[in-house]
């Protein structure tokens, strides 16, 4: 019996080590190929909700993975995975130990998923015309699925909280992607549907990994997918916020004015308005 349990433990450790290695490889690869775009498209842009959510999605996972690394360094070598055993051995009185004792617990996983789902919610809302009732409906749906997933993770699925959390998130994202697909079929062309298909399939394919293999690896894949989606939207100047298009949000609108004599109006300059002279330059000799 002890030999079987040891074999299972070594098998778990091997899976954990492999998934952790893949997770760090994906993080480094993502930063190498997207850091320049992040600096150009987000660091110099104006403050907005989508900018805050982008950086939260971008760096929350990295900070948690660094915490994992520090924990592995300072943890007792004889019991390197004591926090996992804590999750498996807690009784009903200590059920909250399984929520916050590790970075793949329900508390941290839910926080990361809320950021990702908020980004997807804003994007689908912008796609569907930014109607207020759609926004409130999606927000209510997100609150209900998140609350239900958290309750199930704490009280019913203490040993596999990631399954309950992933199930609630999967239900929410299937619903909003279905709305986006329905709107795309009725109002847009094939190129629009291709964009929705790429994003939805990439996000949905990470759920089995998050639920059954390693929550850290699954949430990393999902986070990278969302990062690339936002960077692509910024490059293509598509509506990725609850406000106007990127050109109207990020760039200053200049108003060209001139009087009958071709001179700049003094009143406009004194009022601090942005004025640009678009008169043709004089031709050289």
All structural domains of the chain, each given as residue ranges with its CATH number in brackets, are: 2-243 (1.20.1070), 252-280 (no CATH)
Q: Which two tokens stand for residue 264?
A: 């700049």
For position 129, what pLDDT does the model report? 81
What residues does 275 pair with on adjacent strands?
A: 255
For position 255, what pLDDT does the model report? 37
**Which of these, 106, 102, 116, lies nearest to 60 by C-alpha position?**
116
194/121 Cα distance (integer angstroms): 18
pLDDT at 145 over 70: yes
For position 56, what pLDDT does the model report? 92
Tell me the per-residue pLDDT of 93-141, one tens digit each, with 9 for 90 and over. Answer: 454 555 555 555 677 888 888 999 999 888 888 878 888 998 999 999 9
Q: Kindly indicate the confidence band of residue 180, based on its pLDDT and cuts at 50, 70 and 90.
A: confident
Question: Which of 33-37, 124-128, 133-137, 260-264 is the least confident region?
Answer: 260-264
For position 98, what pLDDT does the model report? 52
Neighbour-count burial for 171-192, b at 16+ CB within 10 Å, e otherwise:
ebbebbbebbeebbeeeeeeeb
What mean pLDDT, rounded, does the chain reach?
A: 69
For position 123, what pLDDT does the model report? 84
pTM of the predicted model as reported, rounded to 2 decimal places: 0.68
Q: Which two tokens stand for residue 71?
A: 């924990």
Q: Kindly indicate the confidence band of residue 51, based on its pLDDT and cuts at 50, 70 and 90.
A: confident
Please give the share of the chain, as a percent, with pLDDT higher than 90: 6
Between CA 60 and CA 83, with CA 171 as vertex, the angle to 5 degrees is: 45
For position 111, what pLDDT does the model report? 87
């Amino acid at each position: 019996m002890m030999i079987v349990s040891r074999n299972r433990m070594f098998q778990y450790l091997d899976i954990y080590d492999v998934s952790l290695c893949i997770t760090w490889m994906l993080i480094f690869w993502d930063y190498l190929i997207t850091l320049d775009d992040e600096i150009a498209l987000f660091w110099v842009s104006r403050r907005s909700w989508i900018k805050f959510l982008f950086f939260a999605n971008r760096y929350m996972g990295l900070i948690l993975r660094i915490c994992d690394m520090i924990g592995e360094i300072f943890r007792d070598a004889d019991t390197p995975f004591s926090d996992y055993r804590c999750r498996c051995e807690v009784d009903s009185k200590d059920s909250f130990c399984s929520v916050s004792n590790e970075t793949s617990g329900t508390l941290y996983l839910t926080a990361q998923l809320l950021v990702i789902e908020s980004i997807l919610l804003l994007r689908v809302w912008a796609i569907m015309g930014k109607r207020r009732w759609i926004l409130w409906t999606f927000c209510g749906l997100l609150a209900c699925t998140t609350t239900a997933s958290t309750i199930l993770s704490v009280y019913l699925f203490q040993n596999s909280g990631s399954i309950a959390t992933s199930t609630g998130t999967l239900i929410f994202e299937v619903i909003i992607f279905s709305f986006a697909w329905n709107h795309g079929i009725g109002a847009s062309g094939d190129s629009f549907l291709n964009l929705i298909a790429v994003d939805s399939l990439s996000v949905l394919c990470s759920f089995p990994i998050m639920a059954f293999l390693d929550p850290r690896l699954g949430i990393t894949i999902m986070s990278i997918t969302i990062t690339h989606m936002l960077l692509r939207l910024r490059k293509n100047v598509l509506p990725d916020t609850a406000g106007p298009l990127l050109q109207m949000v990020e760039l200053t609108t200049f108003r060209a004015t001139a009087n009958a004599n071709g001179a700049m109006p003094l009143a406009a300059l004194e009022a601090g308005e942005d004025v640009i002279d678009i008169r043709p330059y004089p031709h050289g000799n």
